[in-house]
Amino acid sequence: MKERVFDWAMSREVKLGSLRCQVVDLVFVGCILVLAFLARLRLLPIVSGDYYGAFKPWMDQIRENGGFRSLGMEISNYSSLYMYIMCLLSYLKFDDLYLLKLVSILFDYVAAAAMFLIVHRLSGNVRKAILGMTFLLFSPAVLLDGAYWAQCDMIYTAFLLFALYWLFKGNSNACLIFVAVAFAFKLQAVFLLPFLIILWAKQRTIKLRHFVWIPLIYVVSIIPAFLMGRSLASLMGVYSGQAELYPWGTLNYPNLYTLLGEAMPELHYAAEVSGAGILLTVAILGGIAYYLYTKKIRLTDRLIVTLALLTVAVTVYTLPHMHERYGILLDLLAIVYAMLDVRKLPVFFGFSLISVVSFMPFLITVEIVPLQYTAIGLLGLILYVGFDFYRQVEAGTR
């Protein structure tokens, strides 16, 4: 049968640097990028409670006080880096809701690029990398967080994904710089630190001296606000202030504290339970570190991805004061986990489903599934990943 011109054109090989693919791959990527943006475009008019209760008043105050000149004031409890973005947006004559959402959407695409690079680096397969990028762009948590909610969690998450990319390239310095920038945007970047510390202990890529980037870049990030007149104490205490603002064991995140009845607004024994929970987190992560450190094993890329997913999952499940959005990094790590073994795709779908169920009580004020049941489901996923981690380690020590 004579080959059609269409088939001939689609099968042509294209070389982009060291990357080799076919025209059909580029066409598919283009369609995915456009469809992902159109999906987000439909969500732009939606106004969430966080926008009315926080972002809109902040933008109004920034405009009233002269854009960047407002940096000397304590307008929000967000990091200086995000406030710089808000100040920059204040000079644009456009709807603030759309402006803030478009920034988050931009970082959806930045994160997608990082996902492509990670999966391609680990698998060497262009189509797996494209699939990973597609899962990220259409992940329910990613779609809802920025385009629907107007939240900015994908900013720090995108930097963490690039940190992982440089980790897999064997560059400790670049990895920790990206972690530091993520931390300067949001405290939740620390969720990745236990994983990095374990890798340092196993002498895999991470160098202890490069952790200095985290405080250094944070201090550099607050200098403009300090020079504009904001007190050093308030700038250095932004993250501690956030922790004190939310005393509940959990804010709609289906973790351990949901099972203990510490969800907002019950607040039974928040201070006592939270203190014990922090120690529990340290104990479990320390146990994982101890177990792996005592094993004479070569850390494969697949094992490292499993370790990252497990340690982040344990952290968000056992640490107190978790918002419903703080599991978004889990969803993205689960994509990498699944791309290295397609049999693990149900794990990604499971984490994604938990995110959606967790978001609903805030976004639409409906608890589709009681959070206690969701917390049990999440625990089941964590135990599965933990058992897979154990199997990989034991298989590698034989």
Q: What is the pLDDT of residues 53-102, one digit of tens each?
A: 999 999 999 999 999 999 999 999 999 999 999 999 999 999 999 999 99
Whether residue 234 lies inside any domain: the answer is: no
| Shared-domain flag, residues 159 and 14 | yes
H or E stretch covering 14? strand 13-16
| Shared-domain flag, residues 272 and 317 | yes
| Shared-domain flag, residues 250 and 213 | no
Q: Cα(171)–Cα(219) distance, rounded to whole angstroms?
A: 23
| Shared-domain flag, residues 220 and 298 | no
Whether residue 236 lies inside any domain: the answer is: no
| Shared-domain flag, residues 341 and 308 | yes
Q: Cα(293)–Cα(305) distance, rounded to whole angstroms?
A: 17
Per-residue pLDDT of the chain (398 residues; tens, 9 = 90+): 567 888 888 999 999 888 999 999 999 999 999 999 999 999 999 999 999 999 999 999 999 999 999 999 999 999 999 999 999 999 999 999 999 999 999 999 999 999 999 999 999 999 999 999 999 999 999 999 999 999 999 999 999 999 999 999 999 999 999 999 999 999 999 999 999 999 999 999 999 999 999 999 999 999 999 999 999 999 999 998 887 777 667 888 999 988 887 665 555 677 778 889 999 999 999 999 999 999 999 999 999 999 999 999 999 999 998 989 999 999 999 999 999 999 999 999 999 999 999 999 999 988 999 999 999 999 999 999 999 999 999 998 86
| Shared-domain flag, residues 134 and 258 | no
| Shared-domain flag, residues 270 and 370 | yes
Whether residue 73 lies inside any domain: the answer is: yes
Q: Cα(185)–Cα(56) distance, rounded to whole angstroms?
A: 19
Q: Look at the chain and report how many structural domains it folds into.
A: 2
| Shared-domain flag, residues 294 and 170 | no
| Shared-domain flag, residues 303 and 183 | no
* DSSP 8-state secondary structure symbol assigned to residue 67: G
H or E stretch covering 323? strand 322-323
Q: Cα(45)–Cα(200) distance, rounded to whole angstroms?
A: 45
For helices 301-318 and 328-339, give the axis angle rounded to 10 degrees: 160
| Shared-domain flag, residues 68 and 216 | yes
Whether residue 294 lies inside any domain: the answer is: yes
Whether residue 232 lies inside any domain: the answer is: no
In angstroms, what is the C-alpha Rg of the chain?
A: 22
The answer for 47, left when phi > 0, alpha when psi is -120 to 50, beta otherwise, is beta
DSSP string, 345-395: HHHHHHHHHHHHHHHHHHHTS--SS-HHHHHHHHHHHHHHHHHHHHHHHHH
| Shared-domain flag, residues 172 and 250 | no
| Residue pair 249/371 in contact by the 8 Å Cβ criterion | no
| Shared-domain flag, residues 134 and 264 | no
Range(s) of the domain holding residue 363: 246-398
